[in-house]
Amino acid sequence: MPELGQYAGVVLSAWGVGLGLIVALVWASITRARRVKAELERIERGGS
Amino acid sequence: MSIWEYANPKKFITTFGPWVMPLMVVAGVLLVVGLGWGFFLTPEAQNFGSTVKIIYIHVPSAFVAINAWIMMLVTSLVWLIRRHHVSALAARAAAPVGLVMTVIALVTGAIWGQPMWGTWWAWEPRLTSFLILFLFYLGYIALWSAVPEPETAADLTSAVCIVGSVFAVLSRYAVLFWAQGLHQGASLSVDRAEHVADVYWLPLMVSMAGFVALFVALVLMRTITEIRARRITALMARAERAEAVA
């Protein structure tokens, strides 16, 4: 862990928000992609 | 072979589908290297202390936020001129990615601004135009959800995209022609004298490449998802019509 000095809280909170939002965006995109793909396959197979 | 072949939804999925995961891996590697390098291996700046490390998140997210809107403008224009549905869906797919990047840039900027400028927020040109861009993203996404007829939704959101482009451009160039702002000049520039020192510039470039790769991967994945969701809607409508006739 690098020495962040008096601004440790500032740096870590900015990085936390940034990385947290990126992870949430990727997770939401992948989850929706899988759900929609599975639903389309089910419909095309003739499921209700 | 013409570029318009990719306006065919099936062709688009078969061509770009296999690229999504490799692009995700490339984005992941670039982000780990760029962000890790920036966070762990760069020194404090004389004026900003360790807060300089925020640029590795703030600058690439702002860059993607603005250029996502420019990409949406191009694909919206393609929709308006050539009526290719995939083009409109690509714009729709990019909007949430651009929105999240805008939020990251705004929040990390505010967190940085509090200790450095003495305020979380200032109504100065670049920040204000960026906030308006954020509101345009919200409006654009809401409009897509609010209008049930896909072609009308694509037309209306394309109009919003054209108007919002003014603020996308303003948020990038406001610092150049409005001197009264708090926001400093460009961190990256083709003019070497203008951008940050090399020790910060190199990891920043790797982080930028990672953010861009992630944007491309997410937009391709989300466009394919939008195409499939549109197909589901069409199939359900067809089934309902068949039931009504029977």
Please report whether residue B2 resides in a domain.
no
How many folded domains does chain B comprise? 1
**Tell me, what's the pLDDT at B141?**
98
Residues of chain B with C-beta less than 8 angstroms from the C-beta of A39: 232
* Model confidence at B192: pLDDT above 90: no
Give domain status of residue B179, yes or no. Answer: yes
Q: What is the pLDDT of residues B14-49, one digit of tens each?
A: 999 999 999 999 999 999 999 999 999 998 888 888
List per-residue pLDDT tens for chain A, 48 residues long: 788 889 999 999 999 999 999 999 999 999 999 999 999 999 998 865
How far away is chain A from the Cα of B178, in angstroms, using its nearest Cα? 27
Task: Tell me what the mean pLDDT of segment B161-171 comes to.
Answer: 89
Inside any domain, residue B46: yes
Q: Do A17 and B229 touch (CB under 8 A)?
A: no
Out of B40, B97, B107, name the one closest to residue A2 (CB).
Answer: B40
pTM of the model: 0.92
Contact, B27 vs B213, CB < 8 A?
A: yes
- Is residue B4, in this structure, part of any structural domain at all? no
Q: Is residue B10 part of a domain?
A: no
For residues B46-66, one letter each, b for 16 or more C-beta atoms within 10 angstroms of the residue's C-beta and e for the rest, the string is: eeebbbbbbbbbbbbbbbbbb
Q: What share of chain B in percent tops pLDDT 70?
A: 91
Distance from CA of B153 to the nearest CA of A (A): 21
Per-residue pLDDT of B195-205, as tens digits, reads 678 889 999 99
Per-residue pLDDT for B177 more than 90? no
User: Quick check: B103 contacting A, CB < 8 Å?
Assistant: yes
Domain range for residue B200? 20-245
Q: Which of B14-28, B81-95, B163-177, B210-224 has the lowest mean pLDDT?
A: B163-177
C-alpha separations of B59 from B19, B53, B81, B96, B185 in Å: 26, 11, 33, 18, 12
CB contact under 8 A, A14 and B40: no
Please write the tens of the pLDDT for every residue from B133-156.
999 999 999 999 999 999 999 999
Q: Is residue B133 part of a domain?
A: yes
* B31 within a domain of the structure (yes/no): yes
pLDDT at B191 over 80: no
- B5 occurs within a structural domain: no
To the nearest whole Å, the CA of B141 is away from the closest chain A CA by: 15
Q: Indicate the range of A44-48, B86-90, B93-97, B202-206 predicted with least confidence.
A: A44-48
- Separation CA B37–CA A20 (nearest Å): 19
At B181 the pLDDT is 63
Instruction: Calculate the alpha carbon distances from B185 to B57, B61, B126, B146, B188 in Å.
Output: 17, 16, 10, 38, 9
Asked if B58's CB is within 8 angstroms of A18's CB, the reply is yes
Computed over every residue of chain B, the mean pLDDT equals 91
Q: Inform me whether the pLDDT recorded for B11 exceeds 80.
A: yes
pLDDT at B178 over 80: no
pLDDT of residue B1: 65
